[in-house]
Amino acid sequence: MNQAIVWYGSIIRLMRRKDGAASSLQTAVVSVLIIAVNMATGIVCARYLGPDGRGDQFAMILWQGFLASMLTIGLPSSLLYQTKKSPQDASELYRTSLVLCMLLGITATAIGWLGIPFWMGGYKPEVIHFAQWTMLLSPLTLVHLVNQSALQARGDFVAYNRLRYMPQIVTLVVLVLLVLTHQLNVFGSSLAYMLPVFPLTIWAGIRMLRKDSAAVRTGFSIKKATTASRLLRYGIGAYGIDVMVTLSMYLDQVIVVGLLSSSELGLYIVALSLARMTGIIQTSIANILFPKASGLPREEALALTARVFRISLWFTLLATASAGAVAPYALKLLYGPLYEGGMDVFRIALVEVVLGGSAMVLAQAFMALGHPGKVSVLQLLGQGLTVPLLFLLVPSLGLTGAGLALVVSGAAKFLFMLVQFPRTFHIPFPSIWLRRDDVLWVRDTLMKREPTMLR
């Protein structure tokens, strides 16, 4: 009991610190909160809409987020970089970003409006039309992404985190109210997912504009043209990373929308989202224990990578094994008996979580030691396999084929790390076996005892 109190106090002190580990832990805590709320909203929609309705809902709300993220041309990353580099220009950079968001958002709207009927030809006409109308929200979606970068650059992490978690909480509240009033349907639930973010987006934009000392100017002045050039020059260079991140999040979902029926898509989304929740273990541990990896000497960075790989691997194995064991009961209890058909793809997706997540933890060493190109190859390899495998396996195997495509992609990424790690760094591949000093190192890190990386 006393030891538990000590650990609890250490975590609270860590949360209040201002160093890199504390910031990472705070971000992880918010991420866990978001995942918990998203799980609750997913359960509400799954139980009350059924697999068919959940599939239709997902297909309708997917496109404006996906296409807006695909057309950022690196603007969020560029705004963050340029504002940090030239804080005196923060106001002009932000205003110019807003203008570019409108132009890019209109482009995304046009692409979605024309392309959605082609890819969603098997869906009901009202579902297709609703998905087209949601594309009008694309400009505000881009503004939301830019606002997050602007708040990070200005160090306003309270507002930044509020933008991250408040929309999800509002969505959950609205969904519960719709259930209580017997008004929950596919279209109302879709609006509950999409609309809450936009009042906060407008609030954050007005808040930042009011903080700027200069008056808001209209028109596209010469200075705005120069500022736009700065933003685009850096943004286009970073755009490839944005595209790969977006594809890693959305690509399999975009493809299966056109290959699965509404009910199969509903099962797939529920199974995949539940499986990937176990991946937060790897993501959070990596974020907490890698706050300053890029500043370490080569030997210490590699030792830290090996240690975090072992720790995150075993935490994730424990989480996925537990999830696999309780899944038959959890799916039925939380989502309802109609979702028992997603059991196989859920268990297959757990394997992908372990393999793909481990590969990304190992990739941190390549990023920290100046080999980002290897990480780009890793992402390209994963996406390059996922696309043809989905088209090959889903028509014949359905949900199971979708899960197998993801597992093969995750396995390929892990094998890539298995080969490239020793070839690049000229050391053996890290051991997978957890050691006692790994556990002690985590304890020392939380308790601020200055743990030795190579101990």
- Give me the pLDDT at residue 15, please: 52
| Banded model confidence at residue 369, pLDDT cuts 50, 70, 90 | confident
- Give me the pLDDT at residue 5, please: 52
Residue 431 has pLDDT above 50, yes or no: yes
Higher pLDDT, 138 or 165: 138
Note the pLDDT tens digit of each residue in 8-37.
455 555 555 555 455 555 666 777 788 788
Instruction: At 226, list the tokens.
Output: 């120069």
- 290 and 424 co-located in one domain: yes
Q: What are phi and psi for residue 47, nearest 5 degrees? A: -70, -40
| Banded model confidence at residue 154, pLDDT cuts 50, 70, 90 | confident
Range of the domain at 327: 260-455
Residue 242 has pLDDT above 80, yes or no: no
Is residue 251 in a domain? no
- 183 and 326 co-located in one domain: no
Residue after which a domain boundary falls, among 188, 211, 240: 240
Is residue 95 in a domain? yes
Looking up tokens 């997912």, which residue turns up? 193
- 428 and 366 co-located in one domain: yes
- 267 and 358 co-located in one domain: yes
- 173 and 290 co-located in one domain: no
User: For residue 202, which of 144, 156, 158 has the smallest C-alpha distance?
Assistant: 144
**Measured distance CA(46)–CA(40) in Å, rounded:** 10
- 113 and 184 co-located in one domain: yes
Residue 224 has pLDDT above 70, yes or no: no
Is residue 286 in a domain? yes
Q: CA angle at residue 27 from 24 to 32, to 5 degrees? A: 125
- Give me the pLDDT at residue 276, please: 81
Is residue 254 in a domain? no
Q: What are phi and psi for residue 121, nearest 5 degrees? A: -60, -25
How many Cβ atoms are within 10 Å of 324's Cβ, its own excluded?
16
Note the pLDDT tens digit of each residue in 344-363.
899 999 999 899 888 888 88
Residue 291 has pLDDT above 50, yes or no: no
Is residue 444 in a domain? yes
- 183 and 227 co-located in one domain: yes
- 159 and 306 co-located in one domain: no
Q: 193-202, 303-312, 368-377, 441-450: which range is least confident on average?
A: 441-450
- Give me the pLDDT at residue 453, please: 42
| Banded model confidence at residue 109, pLDDT cuts 50, 70, 90 | very high
Is residue 253 in a domain? no
- 282 and 163 co-located in one domain: no
Is residue 7 in a domain? no
- 79 and 167 co-located in one domain: yes
- 231 and 306 co-located in one domain: no
- 231 and 271 co-located in one domain: no
**Count of domains observed in the chain:** 2
| Mean pLDDT, rounded, of the chain | 82
| Banded model confidence at residue 144, pLDDT cuts 50, 70, 90 | very high
- Give me the pLDDT at residue 160, please: 79
Is residue 408 in a domain? yes
**Measured distance CA(217)–CA(239) in Å, rounded:** 28
- Give me the pLDDT at residue 137, please: 93
**Measured distance CA(108)–CA(409) in Å, rounded:** 29
Q: Please compute the mean of the pLDDT values over residues 312-316 and round it to a whole number.
A: 86
User: For residue 448, which of 7, 36, 3 has the smallest C-alpha distance?
Assistant: 7
Q: Please compute the mean of the pLDDT values over residues 405-417 and round it to a whole number.
A: 91
- Give me the pLDDT at residue 218, please: 45
Q: Please compute the mean of the pLDDT values over residues 274-283 and round it to a whole number.
A: 75
Q: What are phi and psi for residue 261, nearest 5 degrees? A: -75, 170
Higher pLDDT, 70 or 376: 70
Contact 69, 244 (CB under 8 A): no
Q: Which amino acid is at 267?
A: L
- Give me the pLDDT at residue 220, please: 44
Q: Please compute the mean of the pLDDT values over residues 428-443 and round it to a whole number.
A: 83
